[in-house]
Amino acid sequence: MNVKLLVEEFSAWYGKNQAVKDVTLPVPLHQVTAIIGPSGCGKSTLIRCLNRLHELLPGTRTKGRVMLDGQDIYSDNMDLAELRHRIGMVFQKPNPFSTMSIFNNVAAGVRVNGLRPGTKMEDIVEKSLRMAALWDEVKDRLHESPYNLSGGQQQRLCIARALAVEPEVLLMDEPCSALDPASTLKVEELIADLKSRYTILMVTHNMQQAARVADYTAFFLNGQMIEYGLTTEIFTNPKDKRTEDYISGRFG
Amino acid sequence: MRKKSYKAWLEGDIAFRGFTYLAALSLVGVVLAILWVLVEKSQLTFTKFGPGFALGSRWDPVHGVFGALPLVYGTVVSSLIALAIALPLSLGIAIYLTQLAPHWLRGPVSFLVELLAAIPSVVYGLWGVFVLVPWVRSSVEPVLGSALGFLPLFRGAPYGFGMLAAGIILAIMITPTISAVSREVLLAVPRSQQEAMLALGATRWETIRMVVLPYGRSGILGAAILGLGRALGETMAVTMVIGNRPQISPSLFELAQTIASIIANEFSEAFNDLHLSALVAAGFILFVITLLLHVMARLLVWRVARVPQGVTRE
């Protein structure tokens, strides 16, 4: 297994409350890894620690290492903007930039990271929107507000926006929880398409979703990682009683 | 529903409704009363000079000639200087307090900023006379004069007192207002919008420039107009530093006069009816200027604030 991102003996606190407890989790290259577990199990906190977005909140603290290609993202010489350029994120609720057009939403990240010489913004925007399976729906209204789009389209726009800066890893925090079933299906198909080029780590409380799209699955409970393995193993042959109880719907 | 409680509720409802109705009506009454006094008491001036009163450039109580243009000029220019200084400063304060300051510092500094707004105008005036004016005379004007003296704006002898000092003191006075309102505006920018930008690899500054400020632009515009409105009507502190000479000069170093300031200055000494009515007429013009400003502000805010449909604010 070629590990892209390795979470090692990692803990995180909000004030006195320990949200993530001594987690070690490998995220394999060009695979989809899902974190499942009930609300409040620390799964969202963990992925917000992977691009260090949790640091925006006062009173957060972490321990342990997160190795991206063998380099600890918590080391002192890690540049936050560079880190977040390499590790992109899609949020739980679609959050397109409300003051920008559809085009500028996709272009925003490229503008801050710098357009590579020899590339054209129009091409990057089109390519990103195509990858997010949104191009045909928005190509005639690129200069309209993103708020004229449906929730599912907005979320795919957010995915296109994240893809435009060509991250190596894509973090997805319950990307379908605010979407209807049809939009959810589209986003799931998209995730399956994207994994040939990106390493994806997604959080979901929807077990069927994890079973459908993830290659590897980790089960979290109360901040601890209870079990990790191939998705098929976790769902057909869980080793821990708590995993079995959760996936069979006995709690959560 | 029980009958008795229903009746009590109904009676209370009618009484309360009547009260709020009267309260709202009294506001309209006050505005009309003010307008009526302004129109009535300025009759003499407007019949003598006509609408030309607003454009006359000579204000000479001794010879009974009154033109309000120098006052309008002084009012507008001193307020614009104030806004030009206060707006960037206030935005800096608001951005620092909402985005960059350590969390433990945000509360106390915000409190201090709001405290500044509570200092009485006359105290600012005193500070202006004893601190600001000497400083403007000895440092600001000589430096501006030697560096930018090729512009008519910065020519002339450094008196200290004058348009520039008035603009600076107004700037200090409206900074708390603009920064407090801007701070509220920036606090209302959803965290999700900022996180989205940061997650793309943007720096703090890029996030502020591309997401935070655009999101808050209509509110910031509103804050600026609020500050400008306060500057236009400010009286005491301006009177104490502006030099009180109704004239139109291209140089900001020159003495000047504003409408509010001349009313405060000359009202108790107005020795005839015409002088008195000319002061009221000047007040009427100030009323119209502020009214126009607020109408314009409404239109601008409405234009800028046309938030895209379906925006969910958190």
Question: A32-75, pLDDT tens digit by residue?
Answer: 999 999 988 899 999 999 999 999 888 899 999 999 999 999 99
Q: E strands within chain A?
A: 3-14, 17-28, 32-36, 60-68, 71-72, 87-90, 169-173, 199-203, 216-221, 224-230
- Tell me how close the Cα of B205 comes to any Cα of chain A, in angstroms: 10
- Per the CB < 8 Å rule, is A91 touching B103? no
Give the residue among A156, A152, A140, A100 at the shortest CA–CA distance from B308. Answer: A100
Whether residue B305 is predicted with pLDDT greater than 70 in this model: the reply is no
Report the pLDDT averaged over residues A196-207.
Answer: 92
Binning pLDDT at 50, 70 and 90, where does residue B36 land? very high
Whether residue B1 is predicted with pLDDT greater than 80 in this model: the reply is no
**Is there a contact between B63 and B50 (Cβ–Cβ < 8 Å)?**
no
The beta-carbon neighbor of B200 closest among A58, A108, A147 is A108
pLDDT for the residue numbered A126: 96
The residue whose two tokens read 């314009």 is B296
The beta-carbon neighbor of B193 closest among A58, A83, A95 is A95
pLDDT for the residue numbered B274: 93
- Tell me how close the Cα of A239 comes to any Cα of chain B, in angstroms: 36
- Per the CB < 8 Å rule, is A53 touching B198? yes
pLDDT for the residue numbered A27: 96
Report the pLDDT averaged over residues B213-237.
Answer: 92
Share of chain B above pLDDT 90, in %: 76
- Per the CB < 8 Å rule, is B196 touching A95? yes
Share of chain A above pLDDT 70, in %: 100
For the B49-304 domain, the top CATH level (class) is mainly alpha
**Is there a contact between A142 and A101 (Cβ–Cβ < 8 Å)?**
yes
**Is there a contact between A199 and A211 (Cβ–Cβ < 8 Å)?**
no
User: What DSSP letter does each residue of B9-78 carry, written as one string?
Assistant: HHHHHHHHHHHHHHHHHHHHHHHHHHHHHHHHHTHHHHHHHGGGGGT---EETTTTEE--HHHHHHHHHH
Domain positions in chain B are 3-41, 49-304
Give the residue among A234, A54, A93 at the shortest CA–CA distance from A174. Answer: A93
- Tell me how close the Cα of B201 comes to any Cα of chain A, in angstroms: 4
Report the pLDDT averaged over residues A235-251.
Answer: 89
Share of chain A above pLDDT 90, in %: 77
Neighbours of B295 (CB within 10 A): 10
Q: How many CB pairs under 8 A join A and B?
A: 85
Domain positions in chain A are 3-96+169-247
Whether residue B310 is predicted with pLDDT greater than 70 in this model: the reply is no
The beta-carbon neighbor of A145 closest among B192, B199, B308 is B308
Whether residue B311 is predicted with pLDDT greater than 70 in this model: the reply is no
- Per the CB < 8 Å rule, is B210 touching A108? yes
What would the CATH number be for the domain defined by A3-96+169-247?
A: 3.40.50.300
- Per the CB < 8 Å rule, is B309 touching A145? yes
Binning pLDDT at 50, 70 and 90, where does residue B176 land? very high
pLDDT for the residue numbered A235: 93
pLDDT for the residue numbered B309: 41
Binning pLDDT at 50, 70 and 90, where does residue B314 land? very low
Report residue B163: phi and psi, to 5°.
Answer: -60, -45
- Per the CB < 8 Å rule, is B211 touching A81? no
Whether residue B313 is predicted with pLDDT greater than 50 in this model: the reply is no
Question: B249-287, pLDDT tens digit by residue?
Answer: 999 999 999 999 999 999 998 888 999 999 999 999 999
Whether residue B103 is predicted with pLDDT greater than 70 in this model: the reply is yes
What is chain B's mean pLDDT, rounded?
A: 90
Binning pLDDT at 50, 70 and 90, where does residue B42 land? very high
- Per the CB < 8 Å rule, is B210 touching A112? yes
Choose the mutation target among A95, A141, A161, A172 for the interface with B, i.e. most B CBs under 10 Å. Answer: A95
- Tell me how close the Cα of B186 comes to any Cα of chain A, in angstroms: 14
Report residue A217: phi and psi, to 5°.
Answer: -135, 140
Binning pLDDT at 50, 70 and 90, where does residue B88 land? very high
Give the residue from chain A lying closest to B213, CA to CA. Answer: A99
**Does the beta carbon of A146 lie under 8 angstroms from any beta carbon of chain B?**
yes
- Tell me how close the Cα of B116 comes to any Cα of chain A, in angstroms: 28
Give the residue from chain B lying closest to A148, CA to CA. Answer: B309
Count the alpha carbons within 13 Å of B207 in the hemisphere toward its beta carbon.
23
Share of chain B above pLDDT 70, in %: 95
pLDDT for the residue numbered B303: 74
**Is there a contact between A83 and A73 (Cβ–Cβ < 8 Å)?**
yes
- Per the CB < 8 Å rule, is A81 touching B210? no
Choose the mutation target among B194, B200, B204 for the interface with A, i.e. most A CBs under 10 Å. Answer: B200
Question: A141-154, pLDDT tens digit by residue?
Answer: 999 999 999 999 99
Whether residue A183 is predicted with pLDDT greater than 90 in this model: the reply is no
Binning pLDDT at 50, 70 and 90, where does residue B4 land? low
Whether residue B52 is predicted with pLDDT greater than 50 in this model: the reply is yes
The beta-carbon neighbor of B201 closest among A56, A82, A96 is A82
Q: Chain A residues with CB inside 8 Å of B311's CB?
A: 98, 147
Q: At what angle do helices B69-95 and B163-187 cross, to 10 degrees?
A: 40
- Per the CB < 8 Å rule, is A56 touching B308? no
Binning pLDDT at 50, 70 and 90, where does residue A122 land? very high
